[in-house]
A = this chain, B = another copy of it.
Amino acid sequence: MLGQDADGCCGRLAAAPLDEDRAADLAKVFKALGDPVRLRLLSMIASRDGGEVCVCELTPAFELSQPTISHHLKLLRQAGLVDCERRGTWVYYWVLPAALERLAAVLKSPQAAGATA
């Protein structure tokens, strides 16, 4: 969803007007980030030394039910920002750093992109 364009461009917002398909794909990912609980979950996972977090450690940080937390995590996973694996009783989550990097690249200004191109 966040892959490079055919021409190798990362699809920066400042490079050229986005076409409808690309805008729709990107909007889904930004929408996944457009919620405070999901942002906090993502940062809890992303900032974890060792790289993965048990869902049993995420839930107590919120005054929300386990199914609600699981729903938010599902949206992050559907956006391609995290992945997970069940091991026994619990599900473990980790971020997909390349997805965050590609999203960061999309936001780069013309000046900043020119400096690193």
Residues of A within 8 A of B (CB): 13-18, 20, 23-24, 26-28, 30-40, 42-44, 46-47, 61, 95, 97, 100-101, 103-105, 107-112
Instruction: Knowing A30-B33, A34-B30 are in contact, say whether A39-B14 is a contact too (CB < 8 A).
Output: no
Copies of this protein in the complex: 2
The 5 tightest CB contacts between A and B, nearest first, are: A31-B34, A97-B109, A30-B33, A14-B46, A23-B36
Which partner residue on chain B sits nearest A31 by CB separation? B34
Give Cα distance in the complex from A104 to B112, angstroms. Answer: 11
- Would you mind naming 23 contact pairs between A and B with Cβ atoms under 8 Å apart? A13-B42, A13-B47, A14-B43, A14-B95, A14-B100, A16-B47, A17-B43, A17-B61, A18-B39, A18-B40, A20-B40, A23-B36, A23-B43, A27-B36, A28-B34, A33-B33, A34-B34, A47-B110, A95-B109, A97-B112, A100-B107, A101-B112, A104-B108
Point out the residue from B14, B35, B61, B103 that lies within 8 Å of A107, measured CB to CB. B103
